[in-house]
Structure 1
Amino acid sequence: MTNIDINLNLYLTAFEKMADAVLLLNAKDERFINCNEAALKLFAYPNKTAFLNQKPADISPTHQTDGKSSSQKTTESYALAKQTGFHRFDWQYLKHDGSTFSAEVTLTPIIVEEEEIFHITLRELSEHILRELTERIQIPESIIKNIMAYLESEKTNVASMSIDQKIQELNQHTGPTELKGLNILIVEDDAFMQEVITELLERFGATFIVANNGAEALEALEKDQFDAVLMDLHMPLMDGFVATLQIRKIEKFANLPIIAVTASVSEEAKQRCLRTGMNDFISKPINVSKLLSKITSWTKVSE
């Protein structure tokens, strides 16, 4: 297939603005002759001078994950790209500090000013997988990121799982009716956190009311019946500690589960939550699985 012929000035203008990491490789000596800022960031290099003039072997481990040598696979990739016009594959790379990462690579032969060059687009494989997971199971990207981070902390083999295995794991932690039938009072003054929590609760089947401070929470409790309260600690007018003390003074709310949502994870803060009358606590940023676990655990206890 004929290589793509490109005007140098137009190409370089677009090249620098690309969001994906892009490398330019001289096809003759197989050395990198240019890269954009996204590539420097991905490989954690301080500047182009430190990165350029290297060969692919210099930024790759000796062998790829399938056991084949990086050198052999590089030669095969060049040949396939020239034969078909482009070649897309997964690759293990080395960052400047020696750590490794996986990327989805698109290798395209082009002609720039009569010189044969390989245009190499990189996207971290985790981003590629995230995009596919989002499309296939129709769950917001923010939720998938949160759950995957939790799974990776709990299971050492998550990174090596296939897409289908990852989907199976996600489905076990994202049952859409896991909180169905529960009505949750969210006491939170931060608009962003309100959006995060309501998105999660809605996804898992719960209904909810949002109160911007402790005073509004007390009013909401008198008007509606709730299965649990997610209580921020620091709010204007009435904070979470005072609100909890006031709630516990009302006999019918003596057993209402109150879960603190806090950025402070110190032992002192946790003990203060418990002394005030809260049942449990969860730290920000919110871990989806832990939040679900705490809500289901306390609502079952209170039944």
Structure 2
Amino acid sequence: MSTGNAATLTGSRLPLKVLLIEDSAVIRESLSEALGSTGMLEVTGVAETADDAVRTLENDSFDAVIVDIQLRRGSGMDVLSYLHSKGMLEKLMAIVLTNYALATYRKRCQQLGVQHFFDKSLEFDRVIEVLDEFATGRQA
């Protein structure tokens, strides 16, 4: 009986796995550090292009993705469309963090099933708050 409790406690403390799809090294480093400092979240995958992101998603599983719209090659919208087509947006937390917080992008992301859409310059900290709440809810 105590073994089951120990396993439950140990399992509940595992950090949630986050895929960060972002081409800016500065943003990647800042987000990775902030998410890791919570103890409940860990960036376990990084992609700088849409193709790299899709390959990573095909080969590993994640609890959440943070997606930039403008990537060096390809678009975060391509990644979100892939996630939507595979039914993955129903299973994981999807957050868009972009400098291109245009109404057309926001609307399309909502249509695809993205839960949160944030402007990098104004709402950067909201990403950490939302993921922290998500992790707390998943571990409760």
The equivalent residue for 1:166 is none
Does the 8 A contact of 1:245 with 1:277 survive in 2?
no
| Cα deviation 1:275-296 (Å, max 9, x = unaligned) | 23322112113532x2222213
Q: For the residues of structure 1 that align with 2:48 and 2:62, how far apart are their CA atoms?
A: 16
Instruction: Please say if 1:287 is aligned against 2:124.
Output: yes
1:233 is the counterpart of 2:69: yes
Q: Which has the higher contact order (CA 8 A, sep 6+)?
A: 2
Q: CA deviation at 1:200?
A: 0.9
The unaligned stretches of length 5 or more in structure 1 are: 1-178
- Helix, strand or coil: the match of 1:235? coil
Distance 1:225 1:203, change over 3 A: same
Residue 42 of structure 2 corresponds to which residue in structure 1?
207
Distance, in Å, in 2 between the alignment partners of 1:229 and 1:243 is 10
Q: 1:250 matched to which residue of 2?
A: 86
Q: CA deviation at 1:181?
A: 1.3
Q: 2:75 & 2:105 partners in 1: Cα distance?
A: 14
Query: Which of residues 179, 185, 195 is equivalent to 2:19?
Result: 185
Runs of 4+ in 1 over 4 A off after TM superposition: none
Match of 1:265 in 2: 101
User: Would you say the 8 A contact 2:65–2:95 is kept in 1?
Assistant: yes
CA offsets per residue over residues 191-233 of structure 1, 9 Å max, x none?
Answer: 1111111111121222211111221111112222211000000
How far does the alpha carbon of each residue in 1:212-271 deviate from its partner, in whole angstroms, 9 at most, with x for none? 122111111222221100000011332111111111111355322210011133433321
Task: Describe the superposition over 1:5-27 as per-residue Cα deviations: whole angstroms up to 9, x where unpaired.
Answer: xxxxxxxxxxxxxxxxxxxxxxx
Which structure 2 segments of 5+ residues have no match?
1-12
SS at match of 2:20: strand
Superposed counterparts of 1:26-65, under 5 Å? none
Aligned to 2:5: none
1:237 to 1:266, Cα distance in 2 relative to 1, 3 A:
closer
Distance change in 2, residues 1:292/1:180 (3 Å): farther
Question: Sequence identity, in percent?
Answer: 24
RMSD, aligned CA:
2.4
Query: Residue 287 of structure 1: SS of its match in structure 2?
Result: helix
What is the deviation of 1:180?
A: 5.8
Q: TM-score, normalised by structure 1?
A: 0.37
C-alpha change, 1:298 and 1:272, in structure 2 (3 Å) is farther
- The structure richer in helix per residue is 2
